[in-house]
Amino acid sequence: MKHSEVTELFENHVLQTYGRFPLTFVKGKGQYLWDSEGKRYLDMGGGIAVNILGHAHPDLQKALSEQSQTLWHCSNLYQHPLQGELAEALVHRIGDGKIFFSNSGAESNEGLYKLARRYGHAEGRHEIITFKQSFHGRTLAGIAATGQAKVQEGFGPLVSGFQHAVFNDLRSVEERISPSTAAVMLEGIQGEGGIHPATPEFLLGLRELCDTHQLLLLWDGVQCGHYRTGFFQSFQSLLHHQEADTSFLPDAISMAKSLGGGFPIGAFWVRQPFSTLLGPGSHGTTYGGNPLACSVASRILQLIQEQSLDQNALKMGSRLQEGLQKLQLQFPDKIDEVRGMGLMLGIVLRNDGATDSAPSMALVKSLHQEGMLTIPSGTHVVRFLPALNIQPHEVDEALHLLEHTLSKH
Ligand SMILES: *Cc1c(COP(=O)(O)O)cnc(C)c1O
């Protein structure tokens, strides 16, 4: 089918909730996607941190097709081995606790809000402190948690009980704690907000603050998790050098995006002391922990371990980051800053003349012409969230395409 025909179908039949780029993709393999005209693109966006092993990975194809021969769906009224095994693998990577499976990031975060409400209920505490520029998903509670006015516009009255503090600013959190506060929730690295990593000092301070005030510390690891920073969760990367190593652990962690590598699945982990708050009848889902999704998610974790892709994420992350920093020196009038960790990186762009109010969109579109996909984050940041199995020559190709684009941009 031609691009124009697909465009017509979308215009006529798909709700126009996205400002979509005029691209129609029909095929993927490894780090590349092909559009309907046969043009090839290097995928440095990874479907927004989803395609963690690239496209059409043979081992994931095998896991999915093998599972499809035996059991597709099994109601959560019953149990099946794959859900138990995946839960064990996730707990093993975080700490003592239990897992609930969902289908997406927003849904996983809903679980965290419900956990916080249950936790504070007996004492009449229900408020959750989140952060400005955060992003937690598009459900009604998700947009109230999200610290960006543009996702809330026209949807009021918002779900009550969310306060927004300044990220990496303990004082700002402290000021918002009241007798109604039950929890604090943050992303380890703010993704949609423009690649802002939480600092180790902030995390350690938050943990202390939460302990002092008996608040749950809720972690949105939907975008920054799953070895993107070299460790399963980004706090493990940030704090492993410090003596305080073992003293930081959130009370709940949400996951999705990379978890299924493109097969929809989400999850949240609840730390052991709080794992009975959501008891029988308190929460549920039809599809969560589906056998097909669990088979793919488990295989991803095995492959990351077998092929040391956590190490690869670190190595390729450094290579990409160093390359981007060189480009910053080469184009100081265009690149203001390079931010992020591992394979979650962003370049902050400078305004290019008075008319250019969203330089990130302009660059992302120019890169499409060159045959590379990146993800804008707000008006000034362009994100790189490639697969963890990316190879040096592909990182170099990305840098080359970026350099070429910047030099004529
Ligand atoms: C993408 C994202 C979500 C929402 O996930 P969905 O699967 O789109 O519902 C939530 N939190 C963060 C940090 C995200 O990046």
For residue range 254-265, list pLDDT tens digits in order: 999 999 999 999
Average pLDDT of 270-293?
97
pLDDT digits (tens, 9 = 90+) for 159-192: 999 999 999 999 999 999 999 999 999 999 999 9
Q: How far is the CA of 137 from the centre of ligand 1 (A)?
A: 5
Mutate to test the pocket of ligand 1, among 17, 50, 51, 135 (most ligand atoms within 8 A of CB): 135
Q: What local confidence, expressed as pLDDT, does residue 239 receive?
A: 78
Q: What local confidence, expressed as pLDDT, does residue 408 receive?
A: 87
Q: What local confidence, expressed as pLDDT, does residue 246 receive?
A: 58
pTM exceeds 0.95, yes or no: yes
- Indicate whether 355 pLDDT > 60: no
Q: Which residue would you say has higher pLDDT here, 409 or 407?
A: 407
Q: What local confidence, expressed as pLDDT, does residue 286 receive?
A: 98
The chain-wide mean pLDDT, for the chain, equals: 96
Q: How far is the CA of 197 from the centre of ligand 1 (A)?
A: 16
Q: What local confidence, expressed as pLDDT, does residue 245 receive?
A: 53
pLDDT digits (tens, 9 = 90+) for 32-51: 999 999 999 999 999 999 99
3-state SS track over the chain: CCHHHHHHHHHHHCCCCCCCCCCCEEEEEECEEEECCCCEEEECCHHHHCCECEECCHHHHHHHHHHHCCCCCCCCCCCCHHHHHHHHHHHHHHCCEEEEEECCHHHHHHHHHHHHHHHHHCCCCCEEEEEECCCCCCCHHHHHHCECHHHHCCCCCCCCCEEEECCCCHHHHHHHCCCCEEEEEEECEECCCCCEECCHHHHHHHHHHHHHCCCEEEEECCCCCCCCCCCCCHHHHHHCCCHHHHHCCCCEEEECHHHHCCCCCEEEEEEHHHCCCCCCCCCCCCCCCCHHHHHHHHHHHHHHHHCCHHHHHHHHHHHHHHHHHHHHHHCCCCEEEEEEECCEEEEEECCCCCCCCCHHHHHHHHHHHHCEECEEECCCEEEECCCCCCCHHHHHHHHHHHHHHHHHC
| Cα–Cα distance for residue pair 112/263, rounded to 1 Å | 22
Ligand 1 atom nearest to CA at 134: 13
Q: What local confidence, expressed as pLDDT, does residue 242 receive?
A: 63
pLDDT digits (tens, 9 = 90+) for 2-39: 999 999 999 999 999 999 999 999 999 999 999 999 99
Q: What local confidence, expressed as pLDDT, does residue 352 receive?
A: 72
Paired strand residues for 345: 340, 384
Q: Which residue would you say has higher pLDDT here, 85 or 239?
A: 85
**241 pLDDT tier (thresholds 50, 70, 90):** low
Percent of the chain clearing pLDDT 90 (strictly above): 95
Average pLDDT of 230-234?
97
Average pLDDT of 224-231?
98
Pocket of ligand 1 (CB under 6 A): 104-106, 109, 135-137, 187, 191-192, 220, 222-223, 256-257
Q: What local confidence, expressed as pLDDT, does residue 275 receive?
A: 98
**240 pLDDT tier (thresholds 50, 70, 90):** confident
Atom 11 (ligand 1): residue with closest C-alpha?
A: 136
Q: 196-197 and 189-190 as β-strands: parallel, antiparallel, unpaired?
A: antiparallel
pLDDT digits (tens, 9 = 90+) for 122-154: 999 999 999 999 999 999 999 999 999 999 999
Average pLDDT of 287-309?
98
- Indicate whether 349 pLDDT > 70: yes
Atom 10 (ligand 1): residue with closest C-alpha?
A: 136
**365 pLDDT tier (thresholds 50, 70, 90):** very high
**297 pLDDT tier (thresholds 50, 70, 90):** very high
- Indicate whether 244 pLDDT > 90: no
